[in-house]
Amino acid sequence: VAYNLFLSQTHFHHNRAFLLVLLIGVAVLPVGAAVSLDRRLGTPHILSVGRGRQLALTVLRVEIALVYLASGLSKLLDPDWWGGTVTRLRVVAGEDRLGAVPDRIVDLLLDPGFHAWAAKVVVLTELLIGAGLLWRRTRVAAVWLAIPFHLAIQATAAVQVFSWAALAALVVWVSPRSGDRALFVPRAWQARLVRALDWTGRFTVAVRNGPATLIDRDGTVRHGAAAVRGTAGRLPLTFWFGAPLAHASDRRAYPSAQPEKGSQ
């Protein structure tokens, strides 16, 4: 990838540059301690890489956020992008793929007036994602917004592996601490399901009688449906649906006070 990138200066403004950044991050960070084949096969602890390098992770996070900001800013300053010319030309280029789409929708997608507004939504969304990732309070919302943003790019533009790489890169915003949330569920199959979906290792799961209970890393305790929503909002596969429900549930339950606290 690096060789191909340096062959042409145009690649510096290409999705291959983003892919190279991610590959460097994978090389620098000790990801092998969690997801490598030897880790799965049970490599002795003495051979493992150890805890993550916080500085390298921070640099990678900032670089990813800057990609969104730089891309959005360049589109903002480009009259063809901001005015909708680029987005409309992309639709026109792929018009032959719209055969199964109703004529009214095709007419809308080819309307310059529609693209004059749609392009602005695209540009501002990209800027919002980049800025939101840099602040802790808005980070979850930015990650949530980035998922449909990249899926839409994948569906409407030929960007090779960029969309999938960008979606995978959202994992770097997960806290690099494993098992920092305790989850108690009443059924063994529920524990197995959570462990199977917990790709980022957020939960220490145990089986015990009673309603589901989630103890967050700050000591916040959730029971029953609130625990289920909180868990769903932290599992990669259910994050996009679960995170808004968990956030809304917390706001309704604790409008002016902190959630119940407990010790793990």
Say if CB 213 and CB 184 are below 8 A apart: yes
CB atoms under 10 Å from CB of 3, counted, come to 6
* H or E element that contains 32: helix 32-35
More confident residue, 126 or 8: 126
- Which tokens sit at 3? 């060789």
Which of the residue ranges 48-57, 69-78, 190-199, 205-214 would you say has the lowest mean pLDDT? 48-57
Q: Please give the pLDDT value at position 146.
A: 94
Q: Which amino acid is at 175?
A: S
Rounded Cα distance between 49 and 51, Å, is: 7
pLDDT, one tens digit per residue, over 115-165 is 999 999 999 999 999 999 999 889 999 999 999 999 988 877 777 778 888
- What pLDDT, on a 0 to 100 scale, did the predictor assign at position 109? 83
pLDDT band at residue 56 under the 50/70/90 scheme: confident
Which residues does 182 contact at the CB level (< 8 Å), separation at least 6? Answer: 203, 204, 206, 213, 214, 215, 264
On whether the CB atoms of residues 202 and 178 are closer than 8 A, the answer is yes
In SS3 terms, 218-252 reads as: CCEEEECHHHHHHHHCCCCCCHHHHHHHHHHHHHH
201: alpha, beta or left, given left = phi > 0 and alpha = psi -120 to 50? Answer: left
The DSSP letter of residue 259 is P
Given a contact cutoff of 8 angstroms between Cβ atoms, the answer to whether 241 and 232 are in contact is yes
pLDDT in tens, 79-114: 999 999 988 888 887 777 766 778 888 888 888 899
Q: Is residue 203 within 8 Å of residue 227, measured between CB atoms?
A: no
Q: Residue 188's pLDDT is what?
A: 95
Range of weakest confidence among 2-16, 179-193, 219-233: 2-16
Contact 17, 64 (CB under 8 A): no
Q: Report DSSP letters for 94-126, one per residue.
A: TGGGGTTS-HHHHHHHT-HHHHHHHHHHHHHHH
Question: How much is the pLDDT for 52?
Answer: 46
Global pTM value: 0.74
Distance of CA 107 to the CA centre of its chain: 33
What are the extents of the domains in the chain?
2-173, 181-253
Work out the widest C-alpha separation in the chain, in whole angstroms.
64
User: Which pLDDT tens digit goes with each residue over 184-225?
Assistant: 999 999 999 999 999 888 899 999 999 999 998 888 899 999
